[in-house]
Amino acid sequence: MKYIALLFSLIYSIQGIASPQSIEGKIVFTDGTPVKNTLLHLVEPQISVTTNELGTFSLSKLKPGSYTIQLHLSSGLVVVERVAFSNDKNTNVILDKPDIERIVVTASLTQRSALDMSIPVNVLSNEELVSKRGSTIGETLADEPGISASPYGAGASRPVIRGLSGNRVRALQNGIGTLDASSTSPDHAISSEPLLAQQIEVLKGPITLLYGSEAIGGVINVVDGRIPNQSSIEPLNGSAEIRYNSGNNEKAGVARLDGGTGMVAYHVSGYFRDSGDQSLPSSLNGDLLNSDVDANGATAGISLFDGKEGYFGVAIGKYANNYGLPAESKLEEFIRLDIEQNRTDIEGKLYSPFNGIKSIHLKWGKNDYQHVELEGEEIGTVFSNDADESRLEIMHEAVSGWQGALGIQFNNRDFSAQGEEAFVPPSTTKSTGIFWVEEKRFGEIKIEWGLRHDTQTVTSSAILEEMETKSFSTSIGALWRLNPSYSFALALSRAQRPPNAEELLSNGPHLATQTYELGNINLAKETANNIDISLRKHLGKLNFTINGFYNKYDDFIYERATGEIEDELPIFQFEQKDASFKGIEIDSDWLLFENGLDKISVQGQVDYVRATLSNGENLPRIPPIRFGVGALYETTNWFVDVTARRYFNQNKTAPFETSTDGYTLVDVKFNYQLSSGFFDYTFFIRGQNLLDEVVRNHASFIKDIAPLQGRSITAGVRAAF
């Protein structure tokens, strides 16, 4: 309660907030052409108007300040801009003619586009998400700059951001943790289904200010819209998709319905996925044994809206996933994971509830999670993770140009593992975080800063007393718009992460990693000091983003190979040592030819990360340097995209780690869109690993026994109405 009292004392100290008024304005392109007959939508509060023939608009009962607007242009592109509405009631918005779509990043407090953020962000949505969608979140994101995956067969694959994964990359579902056991072991699946995703957001670098210590390496946010946050003007709309993959005989489908009556909005969705063993490249013969998947799930949500005052919604969801852990031989006893999660979410938001407050946003999620590890027909280990998370964000009106929010976040987790692989004793972890973020524009430069304080407690029968750790994080960033085409971003941060229960208390064989793990109750919190620099060009025929980063860890927590053996497994001890991560990411797109609706463009991509301990040792499972090129032809209703990515040898290995050879992946994607009656159809085909290369992903714990799938074709159709 003391945190809440502190928040409100800070909020009520704000003085001189302006009253609501009518604001008029005009939107034009840089050449003076009016943006006419265009839908203008304020993200919050939710107000929509349409510009007239002159590009002018009028907004009633709106307080002066900075707002995020979406403009739905006649070209089909949606542009996101941050606009300051002033006291003079007249605002002119000068808009660059967009060459790329700007999408709202929901994981940012102020609901802005990736181009308006000082930290590097990747967003997958719309057609791009449909064509890149894989069977796991890791597979779906694996080709994005700075991101790879750590696959454990077809059933589990966590994203790796700049060489970091597990408990340093936080997986979110609509801004709240997935509340599963995926961070405890690489063979545990993330309980977010790519087929249900409307949008997947990746925030790279320390994001602890907003989402806690487990986001010290980044955030993956899967947005599925299970709680409607915008009132519906259509009583019913929906979509359905089916797809087939030749590489593992996968059959998958998803359907969703959304609608409402203005005051009420609803959402219903469901999916299934059924696949056999993955086929290996022809040079290896046969299939990857015990790599099949059988998964299904459903969600349902409803929200109530009170005009422009806000909304309140609730959703329930069920996730089930039964998959095998790859085996080398039929003589082995096959191990399967059978996961079930039931989840409830609540979300509410009030716009301008009282003077000085722009919005109050509440989110809460709770789950009932259990998975059973089956050894043949017998139950080997039962994992249980009952957790809940809540967060309250209070955004204030602009004060002397500064706009921001204060928030508080609570996490509770009861974790247990019982059985043969119970390498971690039962534990309870509770954490409380309080944060404060602000931003202000100074001409063409926007400054952002923030603070966060966390308290974590871990209790377990394996330790005599409660372990409490306090951590503090801070950041400052700047985004400088050099001219209409170029922008420069700089982000500095200091983030801390306390050791979790697995790092403190592990003591036993961990078959998924083929190690005998020993925790360390003497571990201290680790501290990451990070600098991120970005140069972005987003107008004209050539668009690119160049990111460079350096992350210096004090007391980095890692598993050290001791060289000793226990139960026929190598012993790994959790220890601490200073470490550094540095790298670069380049993503570019060049429009070579344009004639009406016909376009030809080429893409280029490079990413590289180097991670070492202070004694010069390499850290394990760091992805190798990667180069990629591609060519895209698009016209009125179809496109074809050809890409080739070269992964180099990874010989910079940790002690007792094996190296991996390089390989080249060639993929082709084809999409065709067709409208017929009430339905819009998208037909898609994707060919992967067309050279049938033997691919051993260096970030995978089982790379030596489980190469990735050989040549495969995915085909499907999506219908929307």
Q: Are residues 77 and 226 in the same domain?
A: no
- Residue 182 inside a domain? The answer is no
Structure confidence by residue, pLDDT tens digits, 387-411: 999 999 999 999 999 999 999 999 9
User: What would the DSSP string read from start to end of 383-444?
Assistant: EEEEEEEEEEEEEEPPBTTBEEEEEEEEEEEEEEEEETT--S--EEEEEEEEEEEEEEEETT
CATH number at residue 57: 2.60.40.10
CATH number at residue 232: 2.40.170.20
What are the tokens at 617?
């040792």
Least confident of 48-52, 543-547, 665-669: 48-52
Structure confidence by residue, pLDDT tens digits, 157-171: 999 999 999 999 999
Total domains in the chain come to 2
pLDDT at 244 over 90: yes
- Residue 640 inside a domain? The answer is yes
Residue 330's pLDDT is: 82
Structure confidence by residue, pLDDT tens digits, 52-111: 877 787 777 677 777 777 777 755 556 666 777 766 556 777 666 555 556 778 888 777
Least confident of 110-119, 574-583, 619-628, 682-691: 110-119
> Are the CB atoms for 685 and 674 separated by under 8 Å?
no
Mean per-residue pLDDT, 45-58:
77
Report strand pairing: 310-325 vs 293-305. antiparallel
Least confident of 121-125, 221-225, 377-381, 476-480: 377-381
Give the residue from 98, 115, 141 where a domain finishes: 98
- At residue 333, φ and ψ (nearest 5 deg) are -80, 120
Mean per-residue pLDDT, 551-562:
95
Structure confidence by residue, pLDDT tens digits, 339-358: 999 999 999 999 989 899 99
Mean per-residue pLDDT, 286-290:
95
Q: Is the dihedral of CA 212, 536, 580, 697 positive or negative?
A: positive
- Residue 133 inside a domain? The answer is no
Residue 126's pLDDT is: 85
- Residue 161 inside a domain? The answer is no
Give the residue from 65, 98, 131 where a domain finishes: 98
Residue 87's pLDDT is: 61
Instruction: Please tell me whether the overall predicted TM-score, pTM, comes out greater than 0.85 for this model.
Output: yes
Q: Are residues 708 and 570 in the same domain?
A: yes
Report strand pairing: 78-85 vs 712-720. unpaired
Bridge partners of 429?
413, 458
- Residue 80 inside a domain? The answer is yes
Distances (CA, A) of 45 to 59, 68, 623: 11, 10, 43
Mean pLDDT of the chain: 90
Residue 16's pLDDT is: 42
- Residue 367 inside a domain? The answer is yes
Tell me what percent of the residues of the chain surpass a pLDDT of 90: 71
Domain extent, residue 396, equals: 220-720
- Residue 683 inside a domain? The answer is yes
- At residue 529, φ and ψ (nearest 5 deg) are -110, 110
Mean per-residue pLDDT, 412-427:
88
Report strand pairing: 218-223 vs 403-419. unpaired
Give the residue from 53, 74, 98 where a domain finishes: 98
- Residue 520 inside a domain? The answer is yes
Who has greater pLDDT, 27 or 202?
A: 202
Who has greater pLDDT, 41 or 306?
A: 306
